[in-house]
Amino acid sequence: MQVRRTRGWLAALAVFAVVIAVVVAYAVQSASRALHVEPAPAVAAAADPLRPAGAAAGPDAEGAAGYAGRVRRVMDALVASRAMGDTHGIVADAATGRVLWSSGAADRVTPASTMKILTAAAALLELGPEARVTTRVHAGAEPGRVVLVGGGDPTLSAAGEGFYPGAASMAELARRVRAAAGEVDAVVVDQSGNVDAFHPDWDAAGIAEGYIAPVETVEVDAGRGGPEDVTARSATPALYAGRLLAEGLGAGAVRAAAVDPGDLGEVLGEVESAPLAVRLRQMMQHSDNVLAESIAREVARARGERPTFAGSTAAVAAVLAEHGLLDPAELAAEDCSGLSEGNRLAPEAINRVLLAAAGDPGAVDPAAGADPAGIAARLSPLVDALPVAAVSGTLADRYGGAGGAGWVRAKTGTLSRTSALAGVAPAAGGRLLAFTLISNGVEVTAARAAADAGVTRLLEVE
């Protein structure tokens, strides 16, 4: 896909810079490595873009070629490292869209969880940041029976103190149902939407290990047994949610069944999820596979696709293609979380989304008839959602003591032989760089360390 380059980005960089500074200040003050990090407050304006101390105010045209050459030397040395295995990647200037370095960036490789960047972008473009998911309880066909009908929200808590801050709770849903229905004898959990819940590429051991659960229409803490991140998940999360509802209602019987819509009575109670922007941030911070797949199914439903793996991957790809951010030839997707090792994605597609989210209109293919400025505005929550090096999410334990700490914002990706890192960071000369590095066939720990060191050196290039 040909990408045009345009300018006019510095105002957006200024806002992003101050947001980064606020996040770093908070981290220093709290010295916390908790994954739940409060969103930085919105900043209306800033006088100057962020730049490292002592750096010049901005790159001049004459020095741009020399700067690109120095970037290439740093990145070529990085990918030549034995630790980086088979690395494909790209680095671009976010203000101009100019590619500073590229190595095999058009090749489709295994992206791991950097796939979530595409999922987040498609959701923001199709649904908008305020989109919510509703969980309902209907009167059943028989007196004293109610039906729990999920809308695809895995973030529900048991009683308001769950894994996802701001989520609705089963306790509140039960309270509303009791107020409307009085005594309830039995709960039926509607299973009609729970199809294609566990991808054949996924390892079922991941349920016990705590990084995945079946993707069902209603879940509590994404199938976790409590608010801790790494804990065994339920193999039947919708039924588990139904049991919690039954406990809250004092009902003695719970069963799962596909319920015909014609057998659903009036709505006795409902609760809504947090806005999409909040859930996307949680997804990115924790690299949450269940949440990613659930959000992708929201996109599928919005586009009239079936909420399955095939439907959600097709919907995500279609949304990005329609907005000029993806050439369909760049992606062959099995899922939308990146958990499948069968996924194939070109690094330049990830970087194009990052450039657009960072405010570069030139990242959008004008041939697609898209509105570049509008796309940038709609994608802006994606940048804020990325973990911050040595501060939050999956980067909380990385970059400790390194120059990139507090500056790099990036999505990590990890599979058994894949390590990936894709994000944005301010560099010398007032630049903001967007980068994507995907290493296949590696020892993950060594590749992570090498990538972190390489990105830190990249940001020091003047």
The DSSP symbol for 392 reads: S
Instruction: Based on the residue annotation, tell me whether 30 is a catalytic residue of this protein.
Output: no
Instruction: Based on the residue annotation, tell me whether 287 is a catalytic residue of this protein.
Output: yes
In angstroms, rounded to a whole number, what is the distance separating the alpha carbons of residues 390 and 393? 9
Set 102, 157, 234, 287: catalytic member: 287
**143: buried, middle or exposed (CB in 10 Å: 19+, 13-18, 0-12)?**
exposed
CA angle 58, 459, 451 (to 5 degrees): 155
- Amino acid identity, residue 274? A
Cα separations (Å) of 88 from 359, 398, 421? 24, 21, 11
The DSSP symbol for 40 reads: P
Secondary element (H or E) of residue 447: helix 444-460
What is the distance between the terminal CA atoms of the chain, rounded to a whole angstrom? 30
Burial annotation 104-132 (CB, 10 A radius, 16+ → b, else e): bbeebbbbbbbbbbbbbbbbbbbbebebb
- Contact criterion met (CB below 8 Å) for 400 and 385: no
Look at residues 88, 16, 20 and name the one whose alpha carbon lies nearest to residue 387.
20
Q: What six digits make up the tokens of 180?
A: 């409307």
User: 């994954």: which residue's tokens?
Assistant: 35
- Contact criterion met (CB below 8 Å) for 406 and 20: yes
Set 102, 103, 113, 273: catalytic member: 113
Set 103, 116, 234, 273: catalytic member: 116
Cα separations (Å) of 394 from 37, 386, 398, 435? 12, 9, 8, 17
In angstroms, rounded to a whole number, what is the distance separating the alpha carbons of residues 214 and 236? 7
Phi-psi region of 287 (alpha: psi -120 to 50; beta: other; left: phi over 0): left
Rounded to an integer, what is the distance from CA 222 to the centroid of its chain? 15
Identify the three-state secondary structure at position 350: helix
- How many helices (H) and strands (E) in the chain? 12, 14
- Amino acid identity, residue 280? L
Cα separations (Å) of 461 from 94, 125, 376, 436? 16, 34, 27, 17
Instruction: Based on the residue annotation, tell me whether 340 is a catalytic residue of this protein.
Output: no
Q: What six digits make up the tokens of 450?
A: 């090498």
> Where do the H-state alpha helices sit in 307-371?
309-322, 347-357
What residues are annotated to the active site? 113, 116, 287
